[in-house]
Amino acid sequence: MKILMVLTSHAEMGDTGHKTGFWLEEFAAPYYVFKDAGAEVLLASPAGGQPPVDPNSEAEDAQTDSTRRFQQDDQARKALAQTRKLTEVPIDAYDAVFFPGGHGPLWDLAEDPATVALIEDAVNKDKVVAAVCHAPAVFRHPKDGTGAPLVSGRQVTGFSNSEEEAVGLTKVVPFLVEDMLKNNGGLYSRADDWAEHVVVDGRLITGQNPASSEATAEAVLDALKH
């Protein structure tokens, strides 16, 4: 079982002067779900090397058992510092691809041609494709075999408009994940703000928010078993 995790390389929160990147818990929790299940995990990003972590996700009140485990895990920290360049990674070698969230993906992964091509290739080859929180932004441009948006007619979730409003970034982000998924024909559903919510539509798996990251990863493992 081989799983590719793709992280953002984008560090700037629009023109606010604040930093962003990937959300630490949304990487660490799935990473250990996969590793503890015996999966081989490869980390990649558009630029390669160390992806930027959202500084807010390193605050004490954002820490979980998984993030604390990661901070003590020299091997995992080294792997994160040496992500492969996404253009150098063939999807054929992997059974699933997982996109952790954070605001960064809204700027780079959502618009990156290599990411779009990877997702379309993965879906065509019946791989499991999963994304959590802001990372369903990656489904903005991929198409299915008919040329329709990949999520059209499919059950999906992602960071909700009300959650974005709650963190005060509605006017900062380039687009709202919920709106984009709906505009692309996705059958969007959600739970209450910050409540766990995972949607499985065949081999397409999405999670709503940070509370959903571990369950989204577990859904990936379930999909790989079947």
pLDDT in tens, 10-31: 999 999 999 999 999 999 999 9
- In this structure, the strands spanning 198-201 and 187-188 are unpaired
- The verdict on domain 2-225 having CATH code 3.40.50.880 is yes
pLDDT in tens, 37-65: 999 999 999 999 999 999 999 999 999 99
**Which pTM was predicted?**
0.98
- In this structure, the strands spanning 40-45 and 84-85 are parallel
Confidence of residue 149 (pLDDT cuts 50, 70, 90): very high
Per-residue pLDDT, averaged over 183-207, amounts to 98
The 3-class SS string of 149-186 reads ECCCCCEECCCCHHHHHHCCCCCCCCCCHHHHHHHCCC
Residue 93 and residue 30: Cα distance in Å, rounded? 19
pLDDT in tens, 151-160: 999 999 999 9
Per-residue pLDDT, averaged over 95-122, amounts to 97
Residue 181: per-residue pLDDT? 98
Residue 226: per-residue pLDDT? 86
Residue 146: per-residue pLDDT? 94
Per-residue pLDDT, averaged over 87-96, amounts to 94
Strands (E), 46-114: 84-85, 96-99
Residue 11: half-sphere exposure toward Cβ, Cα within 13 Å: 6
Give phi and psi for 141, each to the nearest 5. -115, -20
Exposure letters 58-82 (e unless 16+ CB within 10 A, then b): eeeeebeebbeebeebeebeeebee
Residue 197 and residue 215: Cα distance in Å, rounded? 8
Per-residue pLDDT, averaged over 180-185, amounts to 98
Q: Are 223 and 200 in contact (CB under 8 A)?
A: yes
